[in-house]
């Protein structure tokens, strides 16, 4: 754990996944936290950190309850509901290229750098370029100094301190960080950084379609595949092209349904554990009696209303196929990454209500806590048997809000429907730091409930195991 702002590298006895979970929740309270500090930030090295890894942040003067719960939470092998991590060979090859210290900022920090004033065109020249690292740092530094206190900044700060053993990101450290990141790109990086140090047992990773096959046959990352290319058609031409691509006449609802049966069934057979929908949230239920009419209209000309009807129809068909093949559907809701987009309204999770209500046997993994609509997600998941609430990405989007949401969610929906962690990064350094914030938030929220008399210690530990491990493992059918 990180105490009082200083890095303390701890080597802890790792408790194996099998022995830990709910059945053991009452037993481990005392023995789980044999934490022994073996170094400080200035002395520590990558090697030391990767032997155990600080897994959460415990404030100085934390209560006995908080310490007990945090130590328990720190041992839980996390099942991450959502990553964008490619197969290890891609990371070793430098993805996301080129590899230098600035890669640690990728995925989300650029949005904060740009929000604080870094011109996007300037960042576009830095990102992915082979500009010398001294030049890159000169451009980044003033905006990093302005924006480093956000959740995105906190996550990578944790990684730089706890995993790379450096004193944060600054003029004094970026060159050494560059060296250590390069040295760490060697076989076993996921085992060292994510399994051993961060304590992540496995995860669900959503990749570009052409990369999903990279994950075949390995146990750490299980693919989730985008359905958008089949669902979000924009014109009669798109429908025709899909017909050509899939070598089917898609002129009847039955043919469309058969296409989705083949796609989802094929994914299921080859190890895909979820379908993912990114494009929009305002899909509506299409009754069977309207299907042929919608499809006939779409095959002629698609205007604005017709386009939505066509996309709704396709989405309804894929939901039915997913129900039949017991495939969960992950849906992006709430905040989009990036800057300067026109509206967030289409991301309101309440827009999913019609679909969730009409397909009670489906399983929708509602992403990102719907931030900022976190209470809406709680209502959606409490009322609808098909909806589950997922804090993936959220502990770095807004750490304080994620912690508060967890407390409220436990008051307002079954704990079995909550997923407490999805790293949601391309680079493993992001997921490492994010996991530490998530463990801290889970420990803090649960300790607070115990101290308020709202929950027993035994129940708090059981809930921690459910939301960080058991719920996700069961939901995705990961053995």
State how far the Cα of 311 lies from the Cα of 318, in Å rounded to an integer: 11
Q: Kindly indicate which of the ranges 9-17, 138-146, 153-161, 417-425 contains the residues binding Zn ion, using the contact rule CB under 5 A.
A: 417-425
Stretch that binds Zn ion, among 136-144, 161-169, 302-310, 424-432 (CB under 5 A): 424-432
Q: According to the binding rule CB under 5 A, does residue 365 interact with Zn ion?
A: no
**Strands, E assignment, 233-373:** 274-277, 329-331, 364-366
**Distance of closest approach, residue 397 Cβ to Zn ion, in angstroms:** 11
Closest to 336 measured CA to CA, from 377, 379, 368, 380: 368
Sole window of 175-183, 212-220, 259-267, 418-426 interacting with Zn ion (rule: CB under 5 A): 418-426
Q: How far is the CB of 430 from Zn ion (least distance, A)?
A: 11
DSSP state of 87: -
Please measure the distance between the N-terminal and C-terminal CA atoms of the chain and give it in whole angstroms: 30
Nearest-5° angle of CA 56, CA 62, CA 67?
Answer: 60
The nearest distance, CB 440 to Zn ion, in angstroms, is 21
Q: Does 376 bind Zn ion (CB under 5 A)?
A: no
- Separation CA 265–CA 322 (nearest Å): 8
CA dist 309 and 381 (Å) reads: 25
Task: Provide the minimum distance between the beta carbon of 376 and Zn ion in the complex, in angstroms, as a whole number.
Answer: 19
Burial class (CB in 10 A: 0-12, 13-18, 19+), 296: exposed
Closer CB to Zn ion, residue 70 or residue 212? 212
In angstroms, what is the minimal distance from the CB of 420 to Zn ion?
16
Task: Report how many helices (DSSP H) and strands (DSSP E) the chain contains, helices first.
Answer: 22, 12
Q: Which stretch binds Zn ion (CB under 5 A): 212-220, 261-269, 296-304, 421-429?
A: 421-429
We find the least distance from the C-beta atom of residue 433 to Zn ion, in angstroms, to be: 16
Q: Judged by CB, which is closer to Zn ion: 312, or 365?
A: 365
Chain residue at closest Cβ approach to Zn ion: 424
| 224 strand-pairing partners | 206, 274
Distant-in-sequence, close-in-space partners of 53: CB < 8 Å, separation ≥ 6 = 9, 10, 162, 163, 196, 197, 198, 199
Q: How far apart are CA 147 and CA 428, in angstroms?
A: 21
Of 110 and 443, the one with the shorter C-beta distance to Zn ion is: 110
Q: How far is the CB of 6 from Zn ion (least distance, A)?
A: 32
Q: Is 394 in the site for Zn ion (CB under 5 A)?
A: no
Rounded to the nearest 5 percent, the helix, strand and coil shares of the chain are: 55, 10, 35
Partner residues linked to 274 by β-bridges: 224
C-alpha 125/C-alpha 200 separation (Å) is 34
226 vs 314, which CB is nearer to Zn ion? 226
User: Which residue, 68 or 424, is less far from Zn ion as judged by CB?
Assistant: 424
Among 90-98, 355-363, 372-380, 422-430, the segment contacting Zn ion (CB under 5 A):
422-430
What three-state secondary structure class fits 23?
helix
> What are the CA-CA distances from residue 139 to residues 102, 145, 209 (Å)?
11, 11, 34
Tokens 């959740």: give the residue: 151
Compute the least distance from the CB of residue 59 to Zn ion, in Å. Answer: 30
d(CA 423, CA 199) in angstroms, rounded, equals 12
CB of 424 to Zn ion, least distance (A): 4
User: Between 174 and 220, whose beta carbon lies closer to Zn ion?
Assistant: 220
Residue number with CB closer to Zn ion (231 or 277): 277
Residues in 142-181 at the binding interface with Zn ion, rule: CB under 5 A: none
Which of 201, 365, 390, 424 lies at the binding interface for Zn ion (CB under 5 A)? 424
Residues numbered 301-360 forming contacts with Zn ion, rule: CB under 5 A: none
Q: Which stretch binds Zn ion (CB under 5 A): 262-270, 276-284, 419-427, 460-468?
A: 419-427
Task: Please report where in the chains the tokens 């802890």 appear, as a residue.
Answer: 12
How many residues belong to the site for Zn ion (CB under 5 A)? 1
- CB-nearer residue toward Zn ion: 140 or 366: 366
Catalog residues that contact Zn ion under the rule CB under 5 A: 424
């Amino acid at each position: 754990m990180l105490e009082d702002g200083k890095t303390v590298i701890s080597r802890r006895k790792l408790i194996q996944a099998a022995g830990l979970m709910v059945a053991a929740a009452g037993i481990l309270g005392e023995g789980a936290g044999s934490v022994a500090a073996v170094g400080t930030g200035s002395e520590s090295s990558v090697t030391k950190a990767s032997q155990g890894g600080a897994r959460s942040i415990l404030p100085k003067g934390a209560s006995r309850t908080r310490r007990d719960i945090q130590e328990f939470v720190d041992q839980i092998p996390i099942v991450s509901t959502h990553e964008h991590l490619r197969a290890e060979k891609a990371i070793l090859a430098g993805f996301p290229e080129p590899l230098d210290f600035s890669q640690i900022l990728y995925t989300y920090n650029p949005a904060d750098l740009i929000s604080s004033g870094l011109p996007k065109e300037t960042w576009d020249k830095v990102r992915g370029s082979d500009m010398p690292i001294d030049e890159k740092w000169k451009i980044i530094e003033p905006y990093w100094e302005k924006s480093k206190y956000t959740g995105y900044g906190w996550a990578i700060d944790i990684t730089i301190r706890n995993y790379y053993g450096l004193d944060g990101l600054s003029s004094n450290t970026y060159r050494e960080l560059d060296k250590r990141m390069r040295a760490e790109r060697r076989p076993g990086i996921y085992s060292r950084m994510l399994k051993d140090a961060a304590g992540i047992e496995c995860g669900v990773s959503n990749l570009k379609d052409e990369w999903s096959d990279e994950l075949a046959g390995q146990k750490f990352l299980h693919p989730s595949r985008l359905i958008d290319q089949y669902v979000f058609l924009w014109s009669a031409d798109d429908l025709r092209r899909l017909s050509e691509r899939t070598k089917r006449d898609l002129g009847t609802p039955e043919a469309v349904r058969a296409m989705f049966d083949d796609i989802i069934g094929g994914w299921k057979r080859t190890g895909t554990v979820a379908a993912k929908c990114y494009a929009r949230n305002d899909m509506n239920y299409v009754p069977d009696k309207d299907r042929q009419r919608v499809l006939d209209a779409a095959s002629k000309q698609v205007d604005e209303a017709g386009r939505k009807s066509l996309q709704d129809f396709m989405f309804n068909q894929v939901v039915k196929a997913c129900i039949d093949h017991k495939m969960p559907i992950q849906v992006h809701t709430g905040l989009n990454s990036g800057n300067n987009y026109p509206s967030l309204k289409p991301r309101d999770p309440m827009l999913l209500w019609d679909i969730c209500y009409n397909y009670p046997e489906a399983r929708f993994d509602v992403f990102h806590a719907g931030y900022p609509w976190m209470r809406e997600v709680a209502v959606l998941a409490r009322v609808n048997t098909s909806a589950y609430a997922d804090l993936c990405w959220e502990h770095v989007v807004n750490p304080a809000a994620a912690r508060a949401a967890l407390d409220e969610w436990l008051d307002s929906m079954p704990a079995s429907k909550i997923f407490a962690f999805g790293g949601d990064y391309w680079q493993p350094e992001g997921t490492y730091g994010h996991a530490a914030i998530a463990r801290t938030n889970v420990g803090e929220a649960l300790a607070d409930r115990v101290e308020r008399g709202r929950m027993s210690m035994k129940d708090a530990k059981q809930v921690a195991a459910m939301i960080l491990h058991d719920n996700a493992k069961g939901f995705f059918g990961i053995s």
